[in-house]
Chain A
Amino acid sequence: MSEKAYGMTVGKKVGNGFMATILNTIMIVFSLSCIFPLVWMFYSSLKLKREFNANIVGLPPAPTLDNYKQILTNADYHIADSMINSVRTTILSVFLIVMFGFVVGYILARVKFKGNRIIWLMLLMGMLIPVHSLLVPIYIVFNRTGLNNQWYTLLIPYIAFGMPIAVFLIHSYLKGIPIALEEAASIDGSGFTGTLFKIIMPICRPVMVTIAIIQTFACWNEFSFALVLLRDVGLHTVPLAMTQFTGQFSSDYPKIMAAMLITMSPIVIMYFGFSKNIIKGMVAGVVKG
């Protein structure tokens, strides 16, 4: 057998094998540290509260599905309602943030008009104002206008607070795209709308996916507006529903974990369904040839 295989000496192969083992070990340890919280959540959800408090990291001595049964059968928990509310609010909010963000970002980046700069600065300022300082004024406005405690209530603040970052990203992305594209489209007879949606939008797909990912997590996890603007328990979103397992003086962690695993499922389904797109969206545009 030749000393050389694929152009490498045995010494190099051993060296590479050794390095590969070390690197793989590091990667496996790192991967396990990422996966462990999920695994821990799962087996902890099979414990009773007492068993969990007695040994937080230990395996369940007598695994039980009681937590899942209680969560799914107790109507007061509103878990199914909260999931539906969260899915609806997140999908609609993200869709509208991406679409509005794209259109506004494009107009601000490409169309010169009086007030363009002021609108741009106002949108940027939206990212600088702490949300919590606006809770009470927003509550008062929503209350007086009858917009609070409706199924669509959360869409308004989510879109409003999601827009600045979306516009900012689209605006920055479009700055790197030569205007000659639109000029060429115009020469070929494409109108404004056609150019916007048929030429520019496909080019902006990577940044739009990035916005969608950021906003999906933001909307799904948002808590403050949901707490203040919704009074009807049937309209609560997942983060609010999770709080009911925390009592005044104690928390039922196994039940919280079971509920979290149940409520994570839509996001997990979405991730597996769109994982290729998500990864493509995150890396696209990184390397320019």
Chain B
Amino acid sequence: MKRSKIILSLMLSIVLAISLLAGCGGNETTTAPAADTTTTTAAPADDTDETTAAPDASGDGYAGELTLMHFSTSEESQGNGGSDGFRTVIANWETANPDIALNQTVLANDEYKTQVATLASADDLPDVFLLQGMNTKLWAEQGLIMDMTKIIEDSPHYADYNTSYFTPFTDGDKIYGLPVLTGGTCTVIVYDKAAWAEAGFEEFPKTWAEVEEANEYFTANGYTESIAFGNSGKWQMNSCFLSTLGDRFTGPEWFQSIIDKGGAAFTDEPFVKALDYTGMLFQSGVFNDDFNAINNEDAREYYISGETPAFIGGNWDVSYIGATLLETDPERYENTGFAVLPQPEGATGSENSQNIGLGYAVAINSKLADDADKLAAAIDLAYYVTGPDFASYVAENYALGGLTQVSNVDLSAFDQFTQDFYNYSYIDTAACEIYDSYVDGAVWDVLNTELQNLTNGSTDGATVAQLTQEAYEANY
């Protein structure tokens, strides 16, 4: 007994001593991790090396430290084309700028949002960081972020930018960030073409009445319901359903007015109609009964296992479904198609819309205005990570698009599933806004909670709209 105590004490002492020694040396800020892209992409290392030599990847002669904060963790980059591409181009930029010590703080998304908000409160933001659309107006008012309007106009890639992506990062006529990562759809119906053909629909129904009709067939033929959906995280109903369905009722001008505080209100009749329609749909039996008790990760398993012939989610779900089906059920993989939400009765907006955008932008700390060389390096980094090198990388490896448009994307290297999804995302559909990229998180907290009540049948659209409007007036 005594001996074991001695051994234990010895072990703990050694751990303590080692940790203290490690601590003394652990003061260095983590420099950029090598782009350990463990994903099996076709990204040729030689290609990326070539791009590092490109003149636009130079830090304009600045030598010193530059701090960067983002959330493309090693884990996030596995299977996420945007994150993988982002890490890759950062590594390239570092290689091309050996005189610049790029000190990165890389946190998971939730923790990133908490920490960057704390840093903003303390006016201690890093030199370069990722700005969420909903923070733009407030941080711009507080003078925390640099007005990048001129910087963007002077960009060598300006002609190729998809300027519609700038909206969340705009306040008045000023732009505060270069949209970054990939523009992926947040609302897509993933469906089994063969199953729906058996139900009498060669393509996905254009109206919800037809979906309800098909639902009778599916429930009578071994399926639990027609469409799987998961909303236990609350944000899914907003991001992956209402943003698009709302656009069908209100049109884009209404939401632009909400963003601009131009007079539109959540209590406006078209939006209340969208809410009521959402409530009615989720009470109709078309969706799985437990949609408010499970999240999107659980719901997509219903589709993968064949329990439901369709699923509604975002581009992140499509990546997972594709990878899983390819391995477990190649036939279902081949039969999988993509569709926009059917048009609700009484809606007058675009029938082909789906919400897509870039939720984050590369922003620069306004304090860099005092250091011209450092600012030049920061601008160079911002141009590079949102520029053609990034866009080409994600297009060629993942069939995804970013801020900079790439002409003549060769999709022939990809299978039909990937090609169809690329066309759905960027070619065949009309873009509308993602609600929670704008306004204020407190407003969406109220709406998201009330949407759960609405779809559970315990409240109505008018009440949800009223509560959301109150939160909007109080917080925005």
Residues on A lying within 8 angstroms of B by beta carbon are: 50, 53-54, 74-77, 81, 84-85, 87-88, 91, 135-136, 139-140, 143, 149-152, 227-228, 231-235, 240, 243-252, 255, 266, 269-270, 273
Contact = CB atoms under 8 A, between A and B. Distances in A.
B424 interface: no
Contact of B75 (A75, A247, A273): A247
A249 B75 contact: no
B24 interface: yes
A82 to B, nearest CB: 11
Contacts of A54: 301, 304-305
B357 to A, nearest CB: 14
A177 to B, nearest CB: 28
- Among B16, B298, B314, B327, find the residue whose CB has the most chain A CB atoms closer than 10 A: B16
Q: Give 4 closest A-B pairs by Cβ, nearest first.
A: A151-B23, A76-B74, A88-B19, A249-B316
Interface residues of B, number: 54
A232 B23 contact: no
Nearest to A88: B19
Given A87-B16, A139-B118, A152-B23, 18 more contacts: A54-B301, A76-B36, A77-B75, A84-B18, A85-B23, A136-B118, A136-B122, A228-B114, A228-B115, A231-B105, A243-B107, A244-B74, A244-B75, A247-B80, A248-B76, A248-B109, A249-B316, A273-B8
Interface centre among A152, A245, A249 (most CB of B within 10 A): A249
A243 B30 contact: no
Contacts of A139: 118-119, 121-122, 124
A85 B320 CA distance: 34
B316 A250 contact: yes
B12 interface: yes
A65 to B, nearest CB: 16
10 contacts: A50-B327, A74-B74, A81-B22, A88-B20, A139-B121, A232-B105, A243-B108, A249-B317, A250-B316, A273-B8
B117 to A, nearest CB: 9
Nearest to A224: B114
A251 B119 CA distance: 26
B324 interface: yes
Nearest to B1: A276
Contact of B297 (A84, A152, A228, A250): A250
A150 B124 CA distance: 17
Interface string B111-138: 1001100110110100000000000000
Given A54-B305, A244-B108, A84 B320 contact: no
A95 B36 CA distance: 39
Contacts of B122: 136, 139-140, 143
Contacts of B327: 50
B263 interface: no
A265 to B, nearest CB: 11
Given A53-B298, A74-B74, A76-B74, A136 B108 contact: no
A276 to B, nearest CB: 9
A87 B36 CA distance: 28
A232 B28 contact: yes
B271 interface: no
B106 interface: yes
Contacts of A74: 36, 38, 74
Given A53-B301, A139-B118, A266 B26 contact: no
A234 B171 CA distance: 37
A143 B27 contact: no
A149 B314 CA distance: 37
B73 interface: yes
A91 B12 contact: yes
B26 A151 contact: yes
Interface string B252-277: 00000000000000000000000000
Contacts of A143: 122, 124
Given A53-B298, A228-B115, A249-B314, A150 B105 contact: no
B412 to A, nearest CB: 28
Nearest to B67: A231
A228 B324 CA distance: 37
A75 B33 contact: yes
B108 A246 contact: yes
Contacts of B105: 231-233
B15 interface: yes
A133 to B, nearest CB: 12
B221 interface: no
B108 to A, nearest CB: 4
Contacts of B305: 54
A232 B314 CA distance: 32
Contact of B24 (A151, A234, A252): A151
Contact of B30 (A91, A233, A252): A233
Given A139-B118, A233-B30, A247 B109 contact: yes
B208 to A, nearest CB: 26
Contact of A232 (B12, B29, B111): B29
Nearest to A49: B320
Contact of B73 (A50, A85, A244): A244
B12 A247 contact: no
Contacts of B75: 77, 244-245, 247, 252, 255
B108 A234 contact: no
Contact of B33 (A76, A91, A243): A76
A76 B28 contact: no
Contacts of B27: 149-151, 232, 235
Contacts of A151: 23-24, 26-27
B296 interface: yes
Contacts of B108: 243-247
Could you say which of A76, A139, A140, A270 has the most chain B C-beta atoms within 10 Å of its C-beta? A76
Contacts of A273: 4-5, 8, 12
B370 interface: no
A245 B76 CA distance: 8
A84 B74 contact: no
B111 A240 contact: yes
Contacts of A252: 75
B343 to A, nearest CB: 27
A77 B74 contact: yes
B118 A246 contact: no
A240 B73 CA distance: 13
A231 B29 contact: yes
B15 A87 contact: yes
Contacts of A135: 118
A250 B73 CA distance: 13
A88 B23 CA distance: 9
B371 interface: no
B110 interface: yes
A135 B117 CA distance: 11
Nearest to A78: B30
A234 B22 CA distance: 10
B118 A234 contact: no
